Chain A
């Protein structure tokens, strides 16, 4: 693919609000996970909750869209000068030439979960204040972001579980290559809700401790929430020294099982191969891999096989989910931004919470932070339904 410039990005999750806060936490190898205190959930698990969402509101003109997911979107849009950068891009390209491709897995489903507790005892009806279109519907997020940023280009939501916000980079790359638009806002949001907390618990996939990716004693995931956004433009427009680029993207399906990855990581390997092909790079060109690394027994084993079958076992890699938790639909953009921070600061983040790397896993897994030249990063995101996506990010040096 033609490289695209990532001309601005923003991030918020349990590590903090904004890329500096997240980078500082990574430097300190700090985890943002804490015992579950979300709403009235009583599960013995740890979560990565974003502070203050309960007491904020979305912008008054978009009041109908007010829900936890869109509040988190607004928080992310206002960080790192992101909304201002989009305003400037709007002046350059025109509102109709900027697309909005968002990812989320559960959107504002929390509103519906809570509305089901308030059904009319006689008729069973939901309360009259329930707003399906602006909160629950999966598209609500892109609708909110498009209105918030006053954009008029093409838009939709990709909802392919935990690969969603990696896959949106591909939609934007195709649309820009075909001149459907000149720029795109990509990324997305997932926020805490009962469906995912109780659902992953029912699958016995949540850990009772802070999650420990690639650890010999790893026993499940920690669910987090967060938002991240990136502004993509043609690299020709902004390709000076140090410019951050999307170099490649690869997507695949597992054809194996709805909630368990292929044991040999065949789908994951295909996604990585396709991403490298799309970037015109070989495995040796990758300096660091940000793994999906959820800390479930099966994910980490499957991903390790995929990575070691494609790379020679010397490429440094780590999962940052011990720090952020698993942001589900927002994992792709979160880890793309962390990959960008790794490139800009020449830092490969070590794995928070992981104590002893599983001896069965053969990847070159980083426990400690490593300061080294990072020009190109591969970032993996895999999800339910066997949906896989890998991104390659790099910098102009």
Chain B
């Protein structure tokens, strides 16, 4: 399944946007881990913005950066959101409230608890009535999102893939450690254009293969430590330019093979 990359979003620890972060991923600059900084955004009306937690802000910021690069209208583009846990701070607050005798939960906390909260806020922010889906596949959520996005593009429609994950607070973090806050986004189109930076071929293979690692030890730790960062080798190959073939982990006993070719 072929898709043309028109825009990239990247927000992670020491990876402040695609331009600066891409240089570190490509090895042109040294990677220096630093706390993830999510750029402030005016995308949502103030009332809605106050209701969103960090994971939703992360997803929206990554998506917005990819669309800024793609110069494609977000409202007319379908979206695939992929996350291992959605808004995990919100989940913790809800479970704490439900463990008290009163069990009083806030209505906002409750509607933010749906896995598609980021998609809902995105739709409001972008005034988009385009189809959107919200996927989870535990450690392989980003890869599942890429497979679904590639299918939608192969069916003839542009789509944005937005993958994000954020660490759980204690006590869930002990059972489910996620090492950092990380978001990435790709705007993908079915046809080549002057906006396209690379062509991807995505193939599902029902057999085991070793995932492509990151050369830098810090980035490899990030890839292993955050489900959404499983997409780092793909972003690194995009940042380097040129051709590459990558293996991304997917559900047990399977993987995705992604082949990149630059667009002239």
Contact = CB atoms under 8 A, between A and B. Distances in A.
With a 10 A CB-CB cut-off, give which of A200, A202, A383 has the most chain B CB atoms.
A202
A258 B136 contact: no
A284 interface: no
A274 B157 CA distance: 14
Of residues B106, B109, B121, B144, which shows the largest number of chain A Cβ atoms within 10 Å of its Cβ?
B144
A167 B250 CA distance: 21
> A interface, how many residues as a size bin?
35 or more
Contacts of A266: 129
A194 B103 contact: yes
Given A126-B175, A267-B129, A202 B84 contact: no
B172 A112 contact: yes
A158 B75 CA distance: 21
Interface stretch (A73-81, A147-155, A303-311, A353-361): A147-155
Contact of A116 (B95, B112, B114, B144): B95
B120 A386 contact: yes
Contacts of B126: 255
Nearest to B152: A174
Interface string A142-167: 11001000001111111111000001
Contact of B115 (A138, A152, A154, A257): A138
B123 A124 contact: no
B182 to A, nearest CB: 18
A253 B123 contact: yes
Contact of B94 (A140, A167, A195): A195
Interface in B69-126: 75, 84-86, 91, 94-96, 98-99, 103-107, 109-117, 119-121, 123-124, 126
Interface stretch (A47-55, A59-67, A129-137, A225-233): A129-137
Interface in B217-232: none
B138 A137 contact: yes
A375 interface: no
Contacts of B133: 158, 160, 167, 170-171, 251
B261 interface: no
B134 A139 contact: no
A335 B137 CA distance: 25
B124 A113 contact: no
A257 to B, nearest CB: 7
Contact of A255 (B123, B135, B206, B250): B123
A157 B133 CA distance: 10
A113 B85 CA distance: 15
A251 B128 CA distance: 12
A252 B131 contact: yes
A170 B121 CA distance: 22
A266 B98 CA distance: 35
Given A126-B171, A132-B172, A383-B116, A159 B134 contact: yes
B116 A254 contact: no
Contact of B127 (A109, A202, A255): A255
B121 to A, nearest CB: 7
A159 B172 contact: no
A142 B133 CA distance: 16
Given A125-B171, A126-B171, A138 B136 contact: yes
B176 to A, nearest CB: 5
Interface of B: 1, 51, 75, 84-86, 91, 94-96, 98-99, 103-107, 109-117, 119-121, 123-124, 126-138, 140-141, 144, 147-148, 151-152, 154-155, 170-172, 174-176, 204, 206, 250-251, 253-254
20 contacts: A112-B172, A116-B95, A116-B98, A125-B170, A155-B137, A158-B135, A160-B119, A161-B115, A178-B155, A198-B104, A199-B107, A203-B111, A253-B129, A253-B131, A253-B132, A255-B127, A255-B128, A258-B51, A385-B121, A386-B120
6 A-B pairs with the lowest CB-CB distances in the bound complex, closest first: A385-B120, A199-B110, A96-B206, A159-B115, A138-B136, A251-B131
